[in-house]
Structure 1
Amino acid sequence: MAATEEERTVLIAQDGSEYSDYAFDWYMDNIHKTNDKVILLHTPEYHNVVASPMVMADVSVLTDMWKDEEKRVKQLLETLGSKLKSRGIGGKVKSVGGQPGEVICKVAKDEEVSLIVTGTRGLGTIRRTFIGSVSDYVIHHAHVPVLVARHKDHHHHHHGHHNH
């Protein structure tokens, strides 16, 4: 399939946090071109639910948690989808469970994307290693350029805006 110069597919990795919105907005502000197709990829963290020991004892609790999670994911996907529509962007929204790094690389290959954008969270040590390791994994394994939209976290206070 010979694509024209201007047409490219961009994969934006979403995890449903405010930081993944940041990745999307960053993409829109900095690198969006009119003919871009965007794939918003959400990698749900089901494994967190399953890994918590207290849950294993009671299957009904687990099913409820899954149901909640699925509802949340469905809402998120609808939000993401309407975000694309409202900005008039062609593309699609996918939700694929698994190790986020692997999932991102696999979808990027399957969809023949030319660029991957992933957000990073600035807060929380555990989350930082999680998101950090996902970005690192993707950077090392992806077959295309990876842009990490770094969120300006609490280290960058703007002075002078707040009147106390």
Structure 2
Amino acid sequence: MAEEGRKVVIGMDGSKNSSFAFDWYLKNIHRPKDHVILVHSPEYHSLGQSSFAIANLGHVAEQVEEEQKKAQEFNDNLVSKLKEAGIGGEVKTVGGFPGEALVKTAENEEASLIVTGTRGLGTIRRTLLGSVSDFVMRHSHIPVTVCREKPE
């Protein structure tokens, strides 16, 4: 009987922590037949930061276009990352809160595992901002691996 590959969802946000999680996956648990789904949930930082933008719809449109361009460039880099590592897979951009995006994508794709990094937020910041890794661990119905880089 031929071995079937797993579907593995990995959260990618451009941070050092998500790159660490991807590298950890590669070095420690990657199987040749795995299908990796890199999930990017872009946060549009420049939108809504200016009260001027509310009065100027043209400015808002420019900001949206710029954010979309950045997201596309990031996705292209992720596709290259998969190719360079020799991994079969794809990149998905999913809107919304990153934790929800990871869990929903894993469910939709019938994934076997979710891998995510951690931002290492302190207790207060985690309480106010919410922790993606905490959310994923609480809401996922499949195994979750949270990768934390050792402090320097």
Q: Tell me which interval the TM-score lies in, with the shorter structure as reference length.
A: 0.7 to 0.9
Q: Describe the superposition over 1:17-67 as per-residue Cα deviations: whole angstroms up to 9, x where unpaired.
A: 222111111111111111111000000113x44443523233222222211
Give the TM-score normalised by structure 2: 0.85
Spell out the pairing of 1:19-98 with structure 2 (5 A cutoff): 19-46=17-44, 48-52=45-49, 54=51, 55-98=53-96
Q: Any gaps of 5 or more consecutive residues in structure 2?
A: none
Q: Describe the superposition over 1:117-152 as per-residue Cα deviations: whole angstroms up to 9, x where unpaired.
A: 11112368758964x521111111111011111133
- Aligned residue number for residue 149 of structure 2: 151
Return the structure number with greater relative CO, CA threshold 8 A, min gap 6.
2
In the alignment, the residues of structure 2 paired with residue 39 and residue 26 of structure 1 have an alpha-carbon distance, to the nearest angstrom, of: 15
RMSD: 2.4
Shift of 1:72: 1.0
**How many corresponding residue pairs?**
150
Letter in 2 for 1:133: S
Change (3 A) 1:95 1:127: farther
SS at match of 1:25: helix
In the alignment, the residues of structure 2 paired with residue 93 and residue 62 of structure 1 have an alpha-carbon distance, to the nearest angstrom, of: 27
SS at match of 2:37: strand
Shift of 1:5: 4.8
- Aligned residue number for residue 10 of structure 1: 8
Sequence identity percentage = 49
Letter in 1 for 2:32: T
Task: State whether structure 2 residue 119 is matched by structure 1 residue 117.
Answer: no
